[in-house]
Structure formats: structure tokens, C-alpha cells
Amino acid sequence: MASYNGVLKDYSHSSLNEAFKSQNNVNFKLIKTVSDFNETLSRLYEEHATALQVAVSNYRKKNAELRKERPACHLAIFQAWETFLQEVETDSQACNDVASVLSRQVSRPMLDKSFHRKVQSRKIFTHRESFETIIAKTEEKLSKCRVDYKQCHLAHRQNPSQHSLTEYIDAHNAYVQQLHATNGMLEAYHTDTLPQQMQELEEIHNDLVAIVSDSLMQGAEVIAGKANDQAKRYNSLTNQCAAVSPQQDLVNFVRLLAQPSQAQKIPRRLFASPQAEGGEEAGDHNEMTPCLRNELVFDRHSTLSQRSALESLKREAIELELQIRQLQDSIEALNRTQTRGIEGQLYNKVNELQEDLSMKKFDLRAKQIHLAAIKAQLLTHSAPTISSKDLKIVNEISAFWKYRLGSNIGVLMLGPSISPSGSLVTNIESGDSVVVILVLTSISDK
């Protein structure tokens, strides 16, 4: 047999035997521990796969209901959500695959591959003990032969005779033979037997380490493979989510809506003269009621003072503008605080701020609408107004044309502008105002 030149060739002393035995036991305990862990990990992967599949199934049902309610158009955000569901379902199958590999190709084979090595290592240490027992008995026999040899030598010296010489020579021969036998056994044991056992121990150790490392490598490879596949799939989902365009989703949604026949305009309420209500006619009264238009009237009959009303509106506008600026500053401060809360993941604080923020936005918009109303009222004070003289002249002209035209008189339009739908009858200058009377209805020939 070729000489052994391994790592343990110089460590065959009997005093080290217990250390090797302990280290060998640790290797087998490691295999058992790793095997049990992989079996436990396999069950966890299997349970995780089941939980993922149950979750996906439940939310697929909810998604089916949601699909019935959502618009029947392509929405990128819904597509990303459904892709995410699909990827999680794929993860479930991947977890099942990993569980199967860990259980069938890692955990169980480790025990199967290492069992014969466990038997072999146990026999090695048992055999070494047996060999050492044999050597010890041989050396004990040698010691006995040495004692007999010494006794025969002393007996022959003290009482030399043919018989004592014969016993002395026989004892000598027995001792020499036992000595050579013992030396031969020791030579063979330390030269061949012990190195062979140490070589077997090293082979067992190497094999056990290879079993553990190969099994772990196999488990790691399957997990890494699934992880790489998962990374590619979720990178694709990441790109899909990054490509989601809220504007495009809105465009796809509004395409489904029925387009109004007329474009939506800002609604405006027109000035409605009271003469048109109930079919009343100006001739039904003894004294003609003046026809007014969409502007303020300030005279002795009006309780409204132009100066006081204008000052009151201006004060109210200034107060509203101040309140609007204060609300705008408060909203900006709340927005900054909320942004810092989101960045710091202080979502409870963010939720509390949102109530206050929404209320302040409502107050701001309500005051802006109120301010718009005040500004519109201020514009009426800058428009031309009707004086008492204008009203008197209007009454006289209205009576005149009522007398001439009867019930065919139309609405009287007051002011410097001329309506394109009527015809000019007369202009009367009164102070700084111009009264224009337009006949809006046709006059039948009598």
C-alpha cells in the first residue's frame, strides 16, 4: 500500500484519539442539524407558497369585481396592479419549487449519503481500541517472557546444571521470539494500520464536508436561480410602473364619455326686467313705472348711498384679501410640514394635518369666491348710473310712445349703447347721460 502523506499523518498518537473522535461526532451533528434546518425551511417555503396562493386567489376575486366597476378602457395603473398579482402568483410556484428541492435534494440525501460514513467512523475508533488491546496483550506477554527469562537466568547462575541451562535457553528463545513478534506487530501497527485508519478518518471528514457544502450549494443555487428570476420579473414590473402615465389613463377614460353637443361655458345669469313677468303692461298703471336696466340707481327714492356702499364694499374686499393671504401662508406652511412628515414616514401626523389642510383650502376657496362677488359689486359702482332726471325723461317718452304705438311698445333700453337687434327711435340728452329708446318688436301697419 502506498504511504499515506495526508494532513493527519503526524497526528496518530493515542493521546489525540479522543479529540478526533469528538471532532468526527461534531461533523455528524452538523449534518443532522443542516438536514433538519433544510427540512424546516422547506416546510416554511411550502407554507409561504400556500399563503401567497390563497392571498392571490382572494384578491383575484376582488379584482374581478373591481374590473366590472372600472371603465372599459386600458388603464396602465390597473395593468400594473394585475401584473403584480401575477408576479406574486409566480413567486408562490417558485416557493413550491424551492421547498421541493430543499426537502428532496438537500435534506434527505444528506442523511442518506453520510450514514455509511457514520458507521465507518464508528468502526475505525472501535478497531483502533481493539488493535491497542491486542498490542497491550502482546506487550504484557513480552513482559511475562522477560520475567521468566530473568528468573531462569538467576536460577542457572545460582545452581548451574544441565536442567537449569535447558530452562534458561528455552526461556531465552521464548523471550526473543516474543520480542520479535511484539516488535513486528508494533511495526505493522504504526507503519500500516494507524496510517490507514488516519487516512480513512481524513476521507470521512472530507466526504462529510463535501456532503454539507454540496447540499448547501445545491439549495443556494436553486434559491439564487429563483431570486434572479424574481429580480428580473420585478425589474420589469418596476419599469412598467415607472411608465404609468396618469394623464394617459385620464385620456383613455374620457374617450369613453359622451362628448356634450355644446362646449361647457361659464354660466351667467342675465338681467330679467320685472315688466316681462306675469304679462304685465306698462299701460295698466295710472303712472308709468320706469324701466330699469342692469345697473345701480341712486336718487332720492333709493335708500342706498353710493358713497357709503362703495366704502363698505372696499373695506370688505380689503379684509377678504388679508384673510386670503393669511390662509395661503398657512396652507404653504402645512404643506411643508406634511412633506417633511411623509419623508420621515410620520404618517399619523400627516393624516392629522390633512384634515386641517383640507379645511383651510375650503376656507380659502370660499373666501376667493366671496371676494370675486365683492369685486363684481364694485364694478357696478364704476358703471354709468341713472339719475332722477333720466327717470323722469324716460317716463315721459314711454308715455308718448305708448300713446302713439299702443301695446306694441317694446322694452326701453337706457344708456349710451345701441342694441343690434333693435332700431333707434330717439336720443335725449340729459346731463351726462344719454337715453336711447329701442323698439324691439315690430309695429304692425294699421
- CB-CB contact of 200 with 124 (8 Å): yes
Per-residue pLDDT tens digits for 289-309: 667 777 776 666 566 667 777
Nearest 10 degrees: Cα torsion 404, 410, 413, 417? -100
Q: Output the average pLDDT for the chain.
A: 81
Q: What is the pLDDT of residue 171?
A: 94
Q: What is the pLDDT of residue 441?
A: 38
Q: What is the pLDDT of residue 351?
A: 87
- CB-CB contact of 124 with 157 (8 Å): no
- CB-CB contact of 212 with 31 (8 Å): yes
Q: What is the pLDDT of residue 135?
A: 93
User: Which residues is 426 bridged to in the sheet?
Assistant: 437
- Phi-psi sector, 431: left (phi>0), alpha (psi -120 to 50), beta: left
Q: What is the pLDDT of residue 15?
A: 85
- Which residue in 380, 405, 374 sits closest to 292, CA to CA? 380
Can you give the pTM of this predicted structure?
0.61
The separation between the first and the last C-alpha atoms of the chain, rounded to the nearest angstrom, is 149
Q: Is 351 exposed, middle or buried (0-12, 13-18, 19+ CB in 10 A)?
A: exposed
List Cβ<8 Å contacts ≥24 apart for 280-287. 281/407, 282/398, 282/402, 282/409, 283/402, 283/407, 287/395
Task: Quickly list DSSP for 87-136.
Answer: HHHHHHHHHHHHHHHIIIIIIHHHHHHHHHHHHHHHHHHHHHHHHHHHHH
Q: For residues 353 and 330, give the distance between their C-alpha atoms in angstroms, rounded to a whole number.
A: 12
Report residues of the chain scoring pLDDT below 50. Answer: 1, 282-283, 285-286, 407-446
pLDDT > 70: percent of the chain: 78
- Which residue in 118, 101, 115, 83 sits closest to 41, CA to CA? 101
Q: For residues 70 and 165, give the distance between their C-alpha atoms in angstroms, rounded to a whole number.
A: 122
**DSSP secondary structure code for residue 287 in this structure:** S
Q: For residues 196 and 308, give the distance between their C-alpha atoms in angstroms, rounded to a whole number.
A: 121
Q: What is the pLDDT of residue 396?
A: 63
Q: Is 298 helix (H, G, I), strand (E, B) or coil?
A: coil
- Which residue in 184, 148, 183 sits closest to 169, CA to CA? 148
Q: Is 152 exposed, middle or buried (0-12, 13-18, 19+ CB in 10 A)?
A: buried
- CB-CB contact of 420 with 411 (8 Å): no
Q: Which three cell numbers stand for residue 187?
A: 511495526
